[in-house]
Amino acid sequence: MTATELREAILRHLEFSQGKDLAHASLYDMRMALTLAIRDRIIEPWFHATRATYAAQSKRVYYLSMEFLIGRLLEDAILNVGLTEAAHEAVSGLGFDFRDVLNDEPDAALGNGGLGRLAACFLDSMSTLGCPAYGYGIRYEHGLFRQSFGPDGRQVEDAEDWLRQSHGWEFERPEASFRIGFGGSVAESGRSAVWTPENAVMAKAYDTPIVGWQGKWANTLRLWGAEPLRAFDLAAFNKGDFTGAAAPEALARTISRVLYPDDTTAQGKELRLKQEFFFTAASLRDILRRFTSEHSDLRALPSRVAIQMNDTHPAIAGPELIRLLADERGLPFEEAVDTARACLGYTNHTLMPEALERWSESLMAEVLPRHMQIIERIDEMHAKAHPTRKSSILENGEVKMGELSFIMAHRVNGVSALHTELVKSTVFSDLHALHPDRIVNETNGVTPRRWIKGANPRLSSLITETIGEGWEDHLERLTELEPAIETQEFRDRFAAVKAANKADLAEWIGTTMGISVNPDAMFDVQIKRFHEYKRQHLNILETIALWLEMRENPKAGWAPRVKIFGGKAAPGYVMAKEIIHLINNVARVVNADKATRELLTVVYPPNYNVTMAEKLIPAADLSEQISTAGKEASGTGNMKFSLNGALTIGTLDGANVEIRDLVGEENFFLFGMTADEVVERRRHPDHASSAIAESPRLTAAIEAIEAGMFSNGDKAMYRMITQNLRAHDYFTVCADFDSYWDAQRRVDTAWFDRDNWTRMAALNAARTGWFSSDRTIKGYMGDIWNISPMI
């Protein structure tokens, strides 16, 4: 398609879809017209993919995820169909700024963080590889909250309204609607059981096509919206009960109203359980409908259907699939269990006990009475088959969804090499001993189309000019950059790319936050959700210690730094919100200090999301991956940074281990205890206080907070943080502090040899192509799904 043809398509949509002529078109109209013109280009590969899959009777993947953190779709789609230049030309020719049009699209924040972003990167890779697949999730009316900061520096949360304007990408599918029941009773009749739910809602499908690289294939993201069975109670209305008349609607819609804004604690809320069942049950019904339209023998299901459970959120898929096969379609129970298991895979994302979902048996029995019976029966069958087992699904009146998922999946995977070993040796050690072939590792990845090609066009051009075309879907080819990295010319160009990205970011920080930052300083970036295990407080303590020493001795040869933070805290996570509060006030005080103004600036732009990540990562020099070892399952932010030529300061945690192996230890700033050492160190009750006593710098930093230096003299303000550090410090911030400080000074030293820094940064980019999510998806296709690519 040429720019002229695209221009015609845009004008057609302006006129016939938006009902506007060019003279009166708003930015929104232009964005919608461009979206629809691009969407039109995706229909052909989308239909082709559907037809080819039906014709080949191919197996399909169904990726069930509570979260899809897709961000904006327009630029990515334009890139994938190869129309970037044409779109730029067409939009400019119609009198609009192309970037303004792209920036008009809301960021679809249907996820919390890494787990949801992984699902989005997987959709991109499955389409790129021609793996027939559906993503199934919830069409939340309000995605993750919008974050701002109050005048005192505290986090403020507002509802995100991404659907207020029409969103353009999706197709509503009223014909694909399923009735999803809750509660009620079970009647046993002979060998089967009949569940009669007490109430029900409708799940209605909304499809978004997800096109792969070069537009060869497109899969479907099918999100379910909840609707009432009966929208409006006219009888109540006629009696004058206007609120009551709308009650059924309000009740049903709450199910797809909000995304729970916390991925690190399982709260056991009834609405959450209903959400999980809602989207899982609708998806399974859709899957069986598609299967039975082509096949009649349900035992063939595993040869046509691979269902992946992204964490335990869709774990009810096991019991529900058994129920559909046994109760509703007459398969013997044992056979239904085996058939379901052969279809199901389970990805574990965390070892933290507070994040492993458990539901009280009474709640489960109330909301899903038949499923509770099935779970009991699965647990009994498993106990009988493994009389020596120590773990069970049901324990202390609770249903443990991790154990249920493990027992109901034919493969269980961890998300990095270290994490998978810990899955085997800790949470699932007993089940692993009984089923030694079940656990496999699939180290996470990220899509290079969005995270390099789209986010970093300058670097992409340099890569293409150096190694030629075609690296975007063969990212291992980045190693071909290595010989060039040894030339001064390439290093100068690589440094110029970084400098230009930093200049763009500095300008954005200036205009959006009113803070001027030195674009020649080191951009030191920690962006991720706020959690004590991710240790943003370790970073801010080091920042305070650094600032104190800079004031003492400004001429000591410090590397000038801009410390950039980004991330949201769950609204109920008080400690994480206090850390946010502290960072904002450290920024206020440090940035006002004229003595250190040239050496240190702290910036914390609010409302971190995918779009902001795309802006910050290409401009980063240093990537902060400083979690307590053993706690970060993988991380994917770490991969995005390395691929964009940032050096990592990090612990031996999650995929950091594999990043360091690939880039070489000389190109990675390692610090801190290992996972084993952390466990050992915690055995000493004074591990924090002794670390503080032995570190004058840490002592000074904590005392500065306690003296009210960042709270206008209020000594009590941050007591929650400092007392926790002194007394408990489960995440071993204190014990790792000196090691972190020392690593930061090695970073300073390295920074002053700028050409060598550039060399190290470029080697990071060249050696981390393995972290393409294409590689990850190929692993799932081979090890778990048993599916071959269709292109």
Q: Which of 114, 215, 318, 454 binds ligand PLP (CB under 6 A)?
A: 114
Is there binding between residue 635 and ligand PLP (CB under 6 A)?
Answer: yes
User: C-beta of 637: minimal distance to ligand PLP in Å?
Assistant: 3
Segment contacting ligand PLP (CB under 6 A): 112-120, 456-464, 515-523, 737-745?
112-120
Task: Report if residue 113 touches ligand PLP, rule: CB under 6 A.
Answer: yes
Helix ranges (H only) for 388-452 are 401-408, 417-425, 429-434, 448
Query: How many residues bind ligand PLP, per CB under 6 A?
Result: 11
Residue 132: how many CA atoms within 13 Å on its side-chain side? 21
Binding of ligand PLP by 73 (CB under 6 A): no
Active-site residue (options: 400, 424, 498, 529): 529
Per-position DSSP letters for 139-195, written without gaps between them: --SB-SPEEEE-TTS-EEEE---TTSS--SS-EEEEEEEEEEEES-EEEEETTEEEE
Integer Rg of the chain from CA: 27
Judging by DSSP bridges, how do beta strands 218-227 and 133-138 pair with one another?
A: parallel
Q: How far is the CB of 222 from ligand PLP (least distance, A)?
A: 22
Q: Which is nearer to ligand PLP, 114 or 132 (CB)?
A: 114
Q: Residue 349, interface with ligand PLP (CB under 6 A)?
A: no
By CB under 6 A, residue 606 contacts ligand PLP: no
CA angle 250, 318, 774 (to 5 degrees): 90
637-656 binders of ligand PLP (CB under 6 A): 637, 640
Q: Which of 143/369 has CB closer to ligand PLP? A: 143
Angle at the Cα of 671 from the Cα atoms of 665 and 677, rounded to 5 degrees = 110
Cβ 528 to ligand PLP shortest distance, Å: 3
- d(C-alpha 42, C-alpha 136), whole Å: 19
Name, in order, each residue with C-beta under 8 angstroms of 376's C-beta and a sequence gap of 6 or more.
394
**Is residue 72 close enough to count as binding ligand PLP by CB under 6 A?**
no
Q: Which member of 88, 117, 358, 640 is catalytic?
A: 640
Q: How far apart are CA 735 and CA 695, in angstroms?
A: 9
Provide the 8-state DSSP code for 117: H
User: What is the distance between the terminal CA atoms of the chain, rounded to a whole angstrom?
Assistant: 22
676 phi and psi angles, rounded to 5 deg:
-65, -40
Angle subtended at Cα 591 by Cα 588 and Cα 596, rounded to the nearest 5 degrees: 140
Query: Of the listed pieces 16-24, 109-117, 294-302, 311-319, which binds ligand PLP according to CB under 6 A?
Result: 109-117
- Please tell me the number of Cα atoms within 13 Å of 609 on its side-chain side: 21
- Confirm whether 435 is a catalytic residue: no
59, 349, 535, 577: which is the annotated catalytic residue? 349
In the annotation, is 384 catalytic? no
Q: How many CB atoms lie within 10 A of CB 700?
A: 15
Nearer to ligand PLP, 400 or 640 (CB): 640
Q: Does residue 59 have an active-site annotation?
A: no
Stretch that binds ligand PLP, among 298-306, 542-550, 570-578, 634-642 (CB under 6 A): 634-642
Measured distance CA(642)–CA(674) in Å, rounded: 21
Q: 275: how many CB neighbours lie within 10 A of its CB?
A: 24
**Is residue 659 part of the contact set for ligand PLP (CB under 6 A)?**
no
534 tagged catalytic: yes
State the nearest-atom distance from the C-beta of 609 to ligand PLP, in Å. Answer: 5
Q: Which of residues 609-628 bind ligand PLP (CB under 6 A)?
A: 609-610, 613
596 binds ligand PLP (CB under 6 A): no
Provide the mask over 502-541, with x wherever binding to ligand PLP is found by CB under 6 A and - wherever it is not.
--------------------------x-------------
605 is a site residue for ligand PLP (CB under 6 A): no
Q: Is 204 among the residues known to form the active site?
A: no
253 is catalytic: no
Going by C-alpha positions, the residue among 276, 254, 173 that lies closest to residue 246 is 254
Catalytic residue selected from 636, 722, 732, 768: 636
Q: Which of 65, 636, 651, 758 binds ligand PLP (CB under 6 A)?
A: 636
Residue with tokens 């019991």: 319
Binding site for ligand PLP (CB under 6 A): 113-114, 117, 528, 609-610, 613, 635-637, 640
Q: Catalytic site residues?
A: 349, 528-529, 534, 636, 640
